[in-house]
Amino acid sequence: MARLKKIPQRLCVGCQEMKPKREMIRIVRTPEEQIAVDPTGKMSGRGAYVCPSEQCLTEALKRKRLGRALERTVSEQVVEAIREELMRRCPKM
């Protein structure tokens, strides 16, 4: 009998729902205190996950959940980088 592989789940800081890690966008605060989008999901540092939807990103920023999860304030440049990643993953938006 084949064993089912466990799918890692992560909490979206926007909608507060658990979803598969592969479907989400990871934002990471590196050990050098830089905040960046992590397309591979393997960069070292503190991470936070957002669903690939504009609504979740807006909610995470409005309620300051993204900054709280990363323990730093999120600059407008980082927000633009996240939006670009959203557009790359979901061009229909």
Q: What is the DSSP string of 5-52?
A: PPPPEEEBTTT--EEEGGGSEEEEE-TTS-EEEESSS--SSEEEEE-S
pLDDT band, very low/low/confident/very high, at 39 (cuts 50, 70, 90): confident
Structure confidence at residue 81 (pLDDT): 86
What pLDDT sits at residue 91?
A: 66
pTM of the model: 0.87
Q: What confidence tens digit (pLDDT) does each residue in 48-84 have? A: 999 988 899 999 999 999 999 999 999 899 899 888 8
Q: What is the pLDDT of residue 86?
A: 83
